[in-house]
């Protein structure tokens, strides 16, 4: 059974710092992995989707990597801003389902 774990559960850093969020999964047989952002009272926003055949994806200040063999993904945020404060969720796609981690709550202090 696929299980997804995110570490840390919460992170608070000063504005301007670079940071890394971690996601691990137990079954390497995945189709893709997605990173989402969740803001209070709002829906989920997809940030990056990495296909199983890919190693990384980049969008602006965000870079996500995928190492299927070790069951790990990282989300790198460069030059963090207060607007980056949110909960970040990773999800792996197995068949039609997305299996989710519990998220990392990120606070960027001005």
Partner 1 sequence: GAGVSQSPSNKVTEKGKDVELRCDPISGHTALYWYRQRLGQGLEFLIYFQGNSAPDKSGLPSDRFSAERTGESVSTLTIQRTQQEDSAVYLCASSFRAGLAINNEQFFGPGTRLTVL
Contact set with partner 1 (CB under 8 A): 4, 31-32, 34, 36, 41-44, 46, 49, 51-52, 89, 91, 93, 95-103
Q: Residue 79 CB, nearest distance to partner 1 (Å)? A: 27
CA-CA distance, 101 to 90, in Å (whole number)? Answer: 6
Q: Residue 108 CB, nearest distance to partner 1 (Å)? A: 20
Considering the complex, state which of residue 29 and residue 79 has its C-beta at the smaller distance from partner 1.
29
- CA distances for 45 relative to 27, 67, 71, 78, 110, angstroms: 25, 23, 23, 19, 23
**What DSSP line would sit under 1-24, residue for residue?**
---EEEE-SEEEEETT--EEEEEE
Considering the complex, state which of residue 86 and residue 89 has its C-beta at the smaller distance from partner 1.
89
Q: Residue 58 CB, nearest distance to partner 1 (Å)? A: 17
Q: Residue 82 CB, nearest distance to partner 1 (Å)? A: 22
Considering the complex, state which of residue 26 and residue 97 has its C-beta at the smaller distance from partner 1.
97
Considering the complex, state which of residue 22 and residue 52 has its C-beta at the smaller distance from partner 1.
52
- CA distances for 53 relative to 8, 14, 16, 33, 65, angstroms: 26, 35, 32, 11, 11
């Amino acid at each position: 059974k696929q299980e997804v774990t995110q570490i840390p559960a919460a992170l608070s850093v000063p504005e301007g710092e670079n940071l890394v969020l971690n996601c691990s999964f137990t079954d390497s047989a995945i189709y893709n992995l997605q990173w989402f952002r969740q803001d209070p009272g709002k829906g989920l926003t997809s940030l990056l989707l990495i296909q199983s055949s890919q190693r990384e994806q980049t969008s602006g200040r965000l870079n996500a990597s995928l190492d299927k063999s070790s069951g790990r993904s990282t989300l790198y945020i460069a030059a963090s801003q207060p607007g980056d404060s949110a909960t970040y969720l990773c999800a792996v796609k197995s068949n039609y389902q997305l299996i989710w981690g519990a998220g990392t709550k990120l606070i960027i202090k001005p």
